[in-house]
């Protein structure tokens, strides 16, 4: 949680501090080759890393003075552009400097990022406030509305006065957008919005398309809850089959697949 002046940004990741800069990662993903190249690049700049966090590498890159910076005043937009050039990887970032927050998404758009507008509760004339999240579903619980999606390669500046796009960094010629399909398939909550479409609708349509491509003569359609439920409903509707809940999810345990070993996985997940 970062609070600055009249707006705030909420995130489950602990921020990293460097002088007057605060860098908060929404999500990042580094390919092994990109990671090693990034580490070698920072070592050439004389930077030593004190943690194994990819957020620290990004923060250190932001403190590096790029060639575009002409005077002693830090040009944070130039530094962010330099970061995007030096780190051709997947990330969504929040970068705070004094009374400004920059929302940044990698040019390939692999990780999601969106902006919400906090709705005034008591005074309609109160100062505008903005929130940033990897998923739009988080806005409703804090009284905010979905405002826009940060586009691939976009650098958005959020201040107490306005929200504005500073630049959109293009991808290398011939390279296509690479949004993570697993956001649609599993990661995202069904009421989140990506690319102007609700995740639930995408999953439902995928189920319908699966019924067209791979119809089956079956008695019923079921699923392993919960992210596959919309797809199963779409499949059942298209095939004219009944949808039946066969498995019931235990809502009092977390995700078992991320547990460190099979003992914990078996303890929290079983068929009864």
Digit-by-digit pLDDT tens for the chain (272 residues) are 232 222 333 334 455 555 555 555 555 554 545 555 555 555 555 556 666 677 777 777 787 777 777 766 778 888 888 888 877 788 899 988 888 999 999 999 999 999 999 877 776 666 778 999 999 999 988 989 999 999 999 999 999 888 999 999 998 877 888 999 999 999 899 999 999 999 999 999 999 999 999 999 999 999 988 899 999 999 999 999 999 999 888 777 766 666 666 666 666 555 55
Specify whether the CB–CB gap between 193 and 136 falls below 8 A: yes
Regarding whether 110 and 71 lie in a shared domain, the answer is: yes
In the listed set 167, 189, 211, which residue is the last one of a domain according to the structure? 189
Looking at the fold, whether 181 and 142 belong to one and the same domain comes out as: yes
**149 occurs within a structural domain:** yes
Q: Name residues whose C-beta falls within 8 Å of residue 172's C-beta, 6 or more positions apart in sequence.
A: 88
Does the residue 261 lie in any domain? no
Residue 16, C-beta contacts closer than 8 angstroms, at least 6 positions apart: 22, 23, 24, 53, 55, 56, 59
**Claim to verify: residue 152 and residue 212 sit in the same structural domain:** no
Task: List the structure tokens of 77.
Answer: 């937009």
Same-domain status, 13 and 85: yes
* pLDDT for position 8: 32
Q: Is residue 269 part of a domain?
A: no
255 found inside a domain? no
CATH number for the domain harbouring residue 104: 3.60.20.10
CA 64 to chain centre: 25
Q: Does residue 267 lie within any of the structural domains?
A: no
Same domain, 202 and 183: no
Q: Is residue 121 included in any domain, yes or no?
A: yes
74 and 45 in a common domain: yes
Domain boundary among 131, 161, 189: 189
Final residue of a domain: which of 157, 189, 221?
A: 189
Residues 127 and 169 in one domain: yes
Could you tell me if 219 and 87 lie in one domain?
Answer: no
Q: Does 263 fall in a domain? A: no
CB 195 within 8 A of CB 136: no
What's the structural domain count of the chain? Answer: 2
Shared domain for 81 and 214, answered yes or no, is no
Note whether residue 160 is domain-resident: yes
Residues 34, 105 within the same domain: yes
Tell me if 80 sits within 8 A of 40, measured CB to CB.
Answer: no
Confidence (pTM): 0.75
Phi-psi region of 196 (alpha: psi -120 to 50; beta: other; left: phi over 0): left
CA distances to 106, 143, 253, 256 from 230, rounded to whole Å, are 29, 26, 22, 22
Is residue 155 within 8 Å of 132, Cβ to Cβ?
no
Rounded Cα distance, 252 and 257, in Å: 15
Regarding whether 108 and 24 lie in a shared domain, the answer is yes
Residue 132: domain span: 8-189
Whether residues 175 and 224 fall in one domain: no
Structure tokens that stand for 209 in this block: 């398309």
């Amino acid at each position: 949680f970062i609070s600055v002046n009249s707006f705030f940004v909420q995130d489950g990741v602990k921020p990293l501090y460097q002088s007057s800069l605060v860098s908060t990662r929404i999500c990042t993903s580094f390919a092994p080759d990109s990671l090693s190249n990034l580490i070698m690049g920072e070592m050439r700049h004389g930077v030593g890393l004190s943690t194994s966090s990819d957020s620290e590498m990004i923060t250190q890159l932001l403190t590096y003075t790029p060639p575009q910076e002409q005077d002693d005043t830090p040009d944070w937009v130039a530094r962010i552009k330099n970061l995007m050039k030096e780190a051709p990887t997947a990330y969504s970032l929040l970068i705070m400097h004094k009374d400004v927050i920059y929302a940044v998404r990698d040019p390939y758009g692999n990780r999601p990022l969106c902006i919400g507008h906090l709705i005034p509760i008591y005074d309609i004339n109160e100062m505008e406030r903005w929130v940033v999240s990897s998923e739009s579903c988080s806005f409703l619980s804090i009284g905010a509305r979905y405002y826009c999606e940060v586009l691939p390669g976009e650098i958005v500046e959020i201040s107490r006065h306005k929200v504005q796009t500073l630049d959109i960094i293009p991808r290398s010629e011939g390279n296509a957008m690479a949004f993570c399909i697993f956001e649609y398939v599993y990661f995202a909550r069904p009421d989140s919005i990506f690319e102007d479409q609700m995740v639930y609708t995408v999953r439902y349509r995928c189920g319908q398309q699966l019924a067209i491509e791979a119809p089956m003569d079956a008695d019923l359609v079921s699923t392993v809850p919960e992210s596959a439920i919309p797809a199963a409903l779409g499949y059942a509707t298209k095939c004219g089959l009944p949808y039946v809940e066969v498995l019931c999810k235990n809502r009092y345990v977390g995700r078992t697949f991320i547990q460190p070993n099979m003992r914990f996985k078996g303890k929290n997940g079983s068929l009864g």
